[in-house]
A and B are shown apart, each in its own frame.
Chain A
Amino acid sequence: MEKALKRWFPLFVLPTLVAFIIGFIWPFIQGVYLSFCQFTTIDRTTFVGVQNYVNAFQDAEFGSAFRFTVSFAVVSTILINVLAFLLALALTQKMRGTNIFRTVFFMPNLIGGIVLGYIWQILINAVLSNLGQPLLALNSKAGYWGIIILMCWQQIGYMMIIYISGLQNVPGDLIEAASIDGATPLQTLFKIKLPMVMPSITICLFLTITNSFKLFDQNLALTAGEPAHATEMLALNIYNTFYFRAGPQWKGIGQAKAVIFFVLVVAIALIQLRATRSKEVQQ
Chain B
Amino acid sequence: MASVTLKNIRKVYPNNEKKKKSKKGEPVKKTNLKVTKEGVLAVDDFNLEIADKEFIVLVGPSGCGKSTLLRMVAGLEEISGGDLFINDVHMNNVAPKDRDIAMVFQSYALYPHMTVYDNMAFPLKLQKMDKAQIDKLVREAAETLDITQYLERKPKALSGGQRQRVAIGRAIVRNPKVLLMDEPLSNLDAKLRNQMRAEIIKLRKRIDTTFIYVTHDQTEAMTLGDRIVIMKDGVVQQVGTPQELFDHPINLFVAGFIGMPRMNVFDAELIKDGGKYAVKMGKVVVDLDEEKQARLAAKRVEPQSITLGVRPEHLTLESTGGPMLHGTVDVYEMMGSEIHYHVTVEGKDVIIIVPTIGMKDVVPMGSDIPFTFGGNVVHIFEKEKGTNLEF
Interface residues of A (CB under 8 A from B): 1, 3-4
Report how far A4 CA is from B78 CA in the complex, Å.
11
By a CB distance below 8 angstroms, the chain B residues around A3 are 78
B54 vs chain A, min Cβ distance (A): 28
Top 3 closest pairs, chain A to chain B, by CB: A4-B95, A1-B76, A3-B78
A282 to chain B, nearest CB (A): 22
- Of the A-B pairs whose beta carbons lie under 8 Å apart in the complex, a sample of 3, sorted by A's number, is A1-B76, A3-B78, A4-B95
In the complex, residue of chain B having the shortest beta-carbon distance to the beta carbon of A2:
B78
Question: Nearest CB to that of B77 among chain A residues?
Answer: A1
Within 8 A of A (CB), among B80-95: 95
Q: Separation in Å of the B226 CB from the closest CB of chain A?
A: 31
Chain A residues lying within 8 Å of B78, measured Cβ to Cβ, are 3
Docked complex Cα distance between A12 and B76 (Å): 21
Those of B263-293 within 8 Å (CB) of chain A: none
CB distance from B71 to the nearest CB of A (A): 10
The interface residues of chain A lying within 8 Å CB-to-CB of B76 are 1
Give a binary string over B83-127; 1 marks a CB under 8 Å from any A CB, 0 the rest: 000000000000100000000000000000000000000000000
CA A4 to CA B97, docked complex, whole Å: 11
Interface residues of B in 172-186 (CB under 8 A from A): none
Once the chains are docked, how many angstroms separate the CA of A4 from the CA of B95? 8
CB neighbours (8 Å) of B95 from chain A are: 4
Using Cβ atoms and an 8 Å threshold, which residues of chain B touch A1? 76
Q: Which of B197-212 contact A (CB under 8 A)?
A: none
CB closest chain-B residue, reference A4: B95
In angstroms, how far is the closest chain B Cβ from the Cβ of A114? 40
CB of B173, distance to nearest CB on chain A (Å): 23
Closest beta carbon of chain A to B72's beta carbon, Å: 13
A156 to B78, CA, bound (A): 53
A204 CB to closest chain B CB (Å) equals 30
Q: Which residue of B lies closest to A3 (CB)?
A: B78
A160 to chain B, nearest CB (A): 31
Distance in angstroms between the alpha carbons of A4 and B93 in the assembled complex? 11
Residues on B with beta carbons closer than 8 Å to the beta carbon of A4: 95
Bound CA–CA A4/B76 (angstroms): 10
Q: When chains A and B are docked, how far (Å) is the Cα of A3 from the Cα of B78?
A: 9
A3–B76 Cα gap in the complex (Å)? 10
Q: Say how far A276's CB is from chain B's closest CB, in angstroms.
A: 23
Specify the chain A residue showing the minimal Cβ separation from B93.
A3
Cα distance A188–B76 in the bound complex, in angstroms: 52
Assembly CA distance A211 to B78 (angstroms): 48
Interface residues of B in 24-83 (CB under 8 A from A): 76, 78
State the CA gap A56–B78 with chains docked (Å): 57
Whole-angstrom distance between the alpha carbons of A1 and B76 in the complex? 6
What's the nearest-Cβ distance from chain A to residue B180, in Å?
16
Cα(A4)–Cα(B98), bound, Å: 13
A1–B97 CA distance with the chains assembled, in angstroms: 11
Q: Complex Cα distance A283/B380, Å?
A: 52
Once bound together, how far apart are the Cα atoms of A3 and B96, in whole Å? 12
Please give the distance in Å from A2's CB to the nearest CB on chain B. Answer: 9
Residue of A nearest to B97 (CB): A4
Cα distance A51–B250 in the bound complex, in angstroms = 80
In angstroms, how far is the closest chain A Cβ from the Cβ of B98?
Answer: 11
What CA separation (Å) do A3 and B77 show in the bound complex?
10
Smallest distance from the beta carbon of B176 to chain A beta carbons, Å?
19
The answer for the CA separation of A1 and B95 in the assembled complex, in Å, is: 9
A257 to B162, CA, bound (A): 63
How far, in whole Å, are A130 and B95 apart by their CA atoms in the complex? Answer: 78
Q: In the complex, what distance in Å separates the CA atom of A3 from the CA atom of B94?
A: 12
In the complex formed, the residue of B with least CB distance to A1 is B76
Q: Which of B297-348 contact A (CB under 8 A)?
A: none
Of chain A, the residue at the smallest CB distance from B76 is: A1
Smallest distance from the beta carbon of B366 to chain A beta carbons, Å?
42
Q: B residues 132-164 with Cβ under 8 Å of A? A: none
How far is the CB of B92 from the nearest CB of chain A, in Å?
12
CB distance from A7 to the nearest CB of B (A): 12
Question: Min CB distance, A6 to chain B, in Å?
Answer: 12
